[in-house]
Structure 1
Amino acid sequence: MSSIYRKLVVYFLLLNLFAIGSVGVYSYYKEKEALLSRTFDQLISVRMEKKTRIIGFFRQRISDMENISRLPQVRKIMSEVATSGKGFLSRKNKSPLDQYHKYLFDYLKDAGCYTRLLLLDDATRAYSLDLRSPFEKYQILQPAEIKALQNFRLAHENKKKAFVKEVVFNPERDHPVLLIGKNIFDKSGHFLEMLALEIRPAAINAIMFENNPDNPLSNTVEVYLVGNDDLMRSNSRFLKNSVFKTKVKTPGVFRALKGITGQAQFKDYRNIPVLSAYSPLNFSGIHWAILAEIDAKEAMIPIYSIRDNIIYLSLLIALISAAVITFLSRKFSDPIKKLKAETTKIAAGEYGNTLEVETKDEIGELTRSFNEMSVRLKVQADKLESEKKLRLRSVIDAQEEERQRLSRELHDGLGPLLLTGKMKLESALNTKKEAMKATMGEVMKLFSDTVQEIRNISNNMMPSGLKEFGLSIALQNLCKEVMDNHPIKIHLVLDLKQNHYAKTTEIYLFRIVQEAINNTLKHAGARHIQLSLEEIESHLFFTLRDDGRGFDADSPPPHKGNGLINMKERVNLLNGYFELTTSPGKGTKIDIEIPI
């Protein structure tokens, strides 16, 4: 059986662990939420910084195009190209414009952002200047490339400002290239030529990979661009040659291309869980998605550290709490164990033991109450033991008195009669026949007296009328016999619904009435006795009232008889109720209730 000490320890430990666990889980998730929020804020900051720089880059390139297109020398070069046709490519470069050719070449090459310069005239001729090769490497474009440039121009036919768009020169072999175009019009607004610059992908990668000291990138953070065909437009930090080769079909790309800005956690193009901040990147004819991401595992390293610290701290607190709870539980349970041990002693009949009151709380009150109970039980037990001894003595005394009475009656009554009869019979042996007849008559008279005496003795031991005629007749005979032999008046009221009751009930109740009358005759000095015996609702109610001297009920009786004790004992054996009411000079009243 589990003790209260174990229960207290277990309950308090469970409650303590629940509280520590709840606080730990709450702290962990709050810290995790805060960390994720900070991480997303940093990713958003990096994404916005890169987006701003990309847009700034495009604006700078457009500015370059606007500036170049306004130079008169560039217009003359383009006019020369338009008029010379293929001769422009085959002639010896001795034109006065050669110095401007070199200036333009050097300017664009030094910018480091362009691959080649493209010229498209209104005669559907197109030339390219490769900025990665030595000077004078003009080439005529292929028909497919010319058509792509024409479509590029027609899409922005009426635009006078520079524009940016991705163009695919050969859909079967090439990937899109990024072009900045500018339509050249004469003073009347008639289209002359289109000037275009092809942007190097490396220039975009340089921006995406350049680290900002204010937003340093960790080992797994990357910012990349994705086109509307779901292909990368900037290199991956983890995959080589990923531009136009790696397809990114993640929720972030899908939402960003739909024009939605946000942040979420999902698996990236490597199928690795990441935290991602995504946004659309729209500029002129460019419609891309820009994403800043970090591996969730790396992002969660601080929270894992916090989690471990919370676990270690929780375990430490739990151990300390367990020690404190064990101490307190023992402090609470030890007095209860002592009370239990003493209660076991009381159950075994060892009364009167007390415990030291060590506290002033409820346990202290319980200990005081236990001490009072133990002392009272000791007093009660002593009292019951005294009453037990008194009852036993009264039984023995009653038996002894009955023997003495029977002895007296045999000695004083039957003895002389039998002795006289014997003597007369002996004397008759020596007498004549006539005298013998007279003697025999006297002996017969003595035998009749002897039989009557035996009947009287028997009636005193067990009234014959009680068995034959019932309780009512027996009580009437008892009252008549008492009044015939004593100077006292008895008024008897009987209201019984049956002639006979249970044998034990009849005998005990008769003896109770007999004992009550005898006590009154011996000790009360009364002249009148009122007796009533009634049957009401399956109960017998007996009342005796006399006009005797009475006595103090709270003090020991002035006489040493066992009459009251015998009456109480018989009433208890019948599961009844006994009440004595008396006071000096006011007589005595006895009320008895016995269930039938």
Structure 2
Amino acid sequence: MNIKRWIIIIINTLNICVVLFLSVTFYKEFSKVLDNRVLLQLNSIKTLKHIQLQKLINSEWQKINTAKTAQYNSPSFILPATKFDKKGIYDVTHLNPTKETSIVFINFIDGVRKIHLLDYNKVKNILLERTGMGVSGESYLVADDFRLRSQSRFYPKKIPYHIKAKTKGVLKGIKGNFNSGIFLDYRNISVYSAYQPINIGNLNWVILSEIDVDEVSKPLIAMRKKLIFITICIIVVSVFLSLFLTKIITQPIIEMKKRLMIMAKGNYNQNFEVNLESSKSLLAKPKEINEMFEALTSLKTALSGAVDFSVEVGNMNLTSDYSPKSTDDLLGKTLLKMREKLIDFRNKEQQLILNNKRLLVVRLEDERKKLARELHDGIGPFLTTLKFYIQNNIEKESHKKEIKSMIDTTIAEVRSMTNALMPSTLEDFGIGPTLKNYVETIQQSVAIKIEFDDASKGNISNELAINLFRIVQELINNTIKHSKANQIKITLSEFENFISLFYFDDGGGFNLEKINLGSGINNIRERVEIFNGTLDLNTENGTTIFEIEIPI
């Protein structure tokens, strides 16, 4: 299906939907207003008749209750004295042989029961008054036995008592509720109804005012026919308008389609301006079309940027910059999330490498500690024993002196190796005294002047202390091996959250860009990284400065 047909279908569908929606909404609102108006009218009629009935019954009761000489209209049937032995108003229709509606007033004068039967015609006259109730409207009474107590205008020859009315309004009214609504009446016909309980004396009745739904719906049906006619007219007009509009819209869209096909093949170098001068388009100034192509140009730029960024991310250049074009740029957000996940993965990988290196260093130090302990506890005592043995068993003094000198040299070498592997003072006295002792030992064998300033407090872990000792060892060894330094300065400072190591020598420095860093400096850098520290190396002005900070 081509775009022209699509536009015709869309425009007409929208028009039809809008017209139908407005028509249905108007019809429903009108119907709702009409329902409310009718129910309000019925409620007013019901209330008026309720007041009239109440006034009638109360006035009759007042007459016989206040005047001792009042004339009583006694019923022709007998009321059992045992059931009606109290003063009040009663519904005795069920006792009347003719089943005519019977309301009696029982009074006691000087101990004698007096019975007065209310004239039913007075009640009937009130209820048969149909002003404002149309052709099918009526008001009627129903007792708690669900039988009518007033004449039905639809069944004038039927005795009310023989007509049962167990409707929704009657059921709710008997329970003491008063309201209005639309439901089936005693004829099983849908009606608008307003109902209210009547509780006077011993009466438990419901008064209802109703009118047929069919009568009220006549103006609605007429209006519905008019709305259908208007809807058909609007649809016909919209079809002709859609044909005209389609002719205006499709020509530039077809032109744009050709250019989009070129874009779909990956050619983003074409000019997106639409030339309609040579065509017979009805659009004099296709501003909107040009704006659409400007949007396509922006899309091309955005896609190119996203592709370039994805290439950088693919090459693990995770520091490359990219900004989404808007808050709705899903592609840009996805690429940024991908970069974040890759950064997180790389950080975890680096952390794993650091943990492995730290574990390797810890195991290496453990092996050194074991080896130092073996040298100290095994070979050391053996050499000492050998020294005493020679001293006590070799008689020739020249041989004894020479052998003792060799053994003393061996003992000193073993102690030096033990101290280099794991100084015993490190666990006993901490990093400060250990470095001081180590510097003093080195100072005895080299001509370089070594100054050590200890400002540590001894609050660091044993692992960190060993690590700092190895770093200083490596730094001093590098200076002795590779520089012509005359002076070394070492400062160890401990702060609240980190410990700082400052190392300086005047051995001439080196060019960081040209020199190939040996394993010594790389070992130092790795040891600093293992403990999440920072290393600042400065080799300018003929000096070498290491500034190391490691968190405690």
Query: Which structure's CA Rg is the greater one?
Result: 1
